Amino acid sequence: MMKALIAGAGIAGLTTALALRRIGWEVTVIEKAPGLRAGGYMLDFFGPGFEAAEELGVIEALRRHARGVGKLDMVDARGRTGSSMAYQRIIEAADGKLFPILRGDIERVLHDALPDAVTIRFGAEIVAVDDRGSGVTVRISTGETMEADLLVGADGIHSGVRRLVFGPETQFIRPLGFHTAAYFFDNQDVAAALDGDFKMMTAKDCMAGFYEVDRGRIMSFFVMRSDRMERPADVRATLQTAYGGLGWVLPAALDAAPAAKDIYYDIVAQVEMARWRRGRAILLGDAAYAVSLLAGQGASLAMAGGRALAQALEADRDIDAALERFETQLRPLVEDKQQAGRRMANWFVPATPAHALVRDIAIRVMNWPPLSGLMGQFFSVGSKGFSLARR
């Protein structure tokens, strides 16, 4: 029986574990966190990952965690709506194959779908890799050594496996000029202001999004322009500096911010690599090809990648040939998504009032029935090319 070691128990790692086990591989997942992450930001789940979820038998479980959203409202710093779109129109544009869901809920569904035969080692990480050509030997932080036919680095944009196998991350990280933060807080007044809708506030060089995930419990996320590469020493102070002068629900959201350790904070960046594979180690998801939140579909691409890797390995018993086929077919597809993300930057966080105005006009145009097909061109993203099933 072939053996795989997977670094990372996020969407990419858990999908790969599920898919590889279903084709008969022995799978162990190594995750440095003490357990599954809870919550996370909300995302639209659609695109190539949707088909992967259907094939892996988890789509209905994911749908049960879908969140109800009335409208997507673009508002200014005083809460005034510049443009709006009913969420149902977005779903229809994706032929019904789209729903909003918390990232943490996706991970929980994938984890619960794993067979008992899959081993997950929480609270450990890979600290050394020895590629033997026909397999790998790794040492983990507990001092143990483990051997496998394949090592999959699915441990995120700051991948430890990538650093060990390919070198420092500075060679591969492409900053897009933004930082992002996210946290949950409780506030009934903010919930009332949101009124069941997903609202995104944009001001010069920053945006903030809010949604009520449970009664009075708000998911918030922030994106602000910054050329710094490092996480600031005081995250709360950084948010206060960027958003403290704004109105609407921002003062309440900032006052309710948790301790810095409970705030997700990172640079907005992409990962660009000449190769995702070296020997019997291969990178997957954000570790290999992060598209950034500006592009969207990061979760979808992670899931599609995990499924595609298993398909390639099932179709070809030569592991090296299968890995080559996987990368050759998926690389141009994910590079297209990365380019789209870079083009979206000034519209996601408007660089000028003119950008915000053009964005709002575009949304209004797409609300007009004769031109609603324009929206479908974005959300009706097919899975063609992301399936490597044997023909």
Q: Where are the chain's structural domains?
A: 3-173+269-379
- How many other CB atoms sit within 10 Å of the CB of residue 353? 12
Distance CA 287, CA 276 (A): 9
Range 144-155 average pLDDT:
97
Distance CA 162, CA 356 (A): 38
Distance CA 74, CA 76 (A): 7
Q: Could you tell me the two tokens for 167? A: 């070198």
Q: Which residues pair with 152 in a beta bridge?
A: 6, 282
Range 21-41 average pLDDT:
90
Output the pLDDT for position 390.
60
Range 115-121 average pLDDT:
96
pLDDT at residue 268 tops 60 = yes
CA 330 to chain centre: 17
Range 305-325 average pLDDT:
94
Task: Please name the residue that has the structure tokens 């949101």.
Answer: 194
Output the pLDDT for position 205.
86
Distance CA 233, CA 214 (A): 31
**387 CB-near residues (< 8 Å, 6+ apart):** 51, 307, 308, 311
Output the pLDDT for position 294.
73
Structural contact between residues 69 and 195, judged by C-beta atoms closer than 8 angstroms = no
pLDDT at residue 369 tops 60 = no
Structural contact between residues 51 and 385, judged by C-beta atoms closer than 8 angstroms = no
What topology does CATH give the domain 3-173+269-379? FAD/NAD(P)-binding domain (3.50.50)
Distance CA 329, CA 76 (A): 42
Percent of the chain predicted with pLDDT > 90: 63
Task: Tell me which of 361 and 183 has the higher pLDDT.
Answer: 183
pLDDT at residue 145 tops 90 = yes
pLDDT at residue 84 tops 90 = no
Range 242-266 average pLDDT:
93
Distance CA 159, CA 172 (A): 11
Output the pLDDT for position 14.
98
Distance CA 323, CA 11 (A): 20
Distance CA 166, CA 162 (A): 5
Instruction: Output phi, psi for 190, to 5 deg.
Output: -65, -40
Query: What's the chain's length in residues?
Result: 391
pLDDT digits (tens, 9 = 90+) for 9-18: 999 999 999 9
Distance CA 95, CA 110 (A): 24
pLDDT at residue 366 tops 80 = no
Output the pLDDT for position 94.
80
pLDDT at residue 222 tops 60 = yes
Range 134-160 average pLDDT:
96
Range 107-132 average pLDDT:
96
pLDDT digits (tens, 9 = 90+) for 59-78: 999 999 998 888 889 898 88
pLDDT at residue 379 tops 60 = no
Output the pLDDT for position 380.
45
Distance CA 239, CA 229 (A): 16
Q: Could you tell me the two tokens for 388? A: 């490597």
Structural contact between residues 159 and 283, judged by C-beta atoms closer than 8 angstroms = yes
Quick one: 216 exposed, middle or buried, by C-beta within 10 A (0-12, 13-18, 19+)? middle
**What is the pLDDT confidence band of residue 381, given thresholds at 50, 70 and 90?**
very low
**What is the pLDDT confidence band of residue 128, given thresholds at 50, 70 and 90?**
very high
Task: Tell me which of 187 and 359 has the higher pLDDT.
Answer: 187
pLDDT digits (tens, 9 = 90+) for 192-217: 999 989 999 988 889 999 999 988 89
**What is the pLDDT confidence band of residue 24, given thresholds at 50, 70 and 90?**
very high
pLDDT at residue 383 tops 70 = no
Q: For residue 65, give the nearest of 95, 25, 125, 106 by alpha carbon.
A: 106
| 179 to 205, 331, 342: CA distances (angstroms) | 11, 26, 14
pTM over 0.85: yes
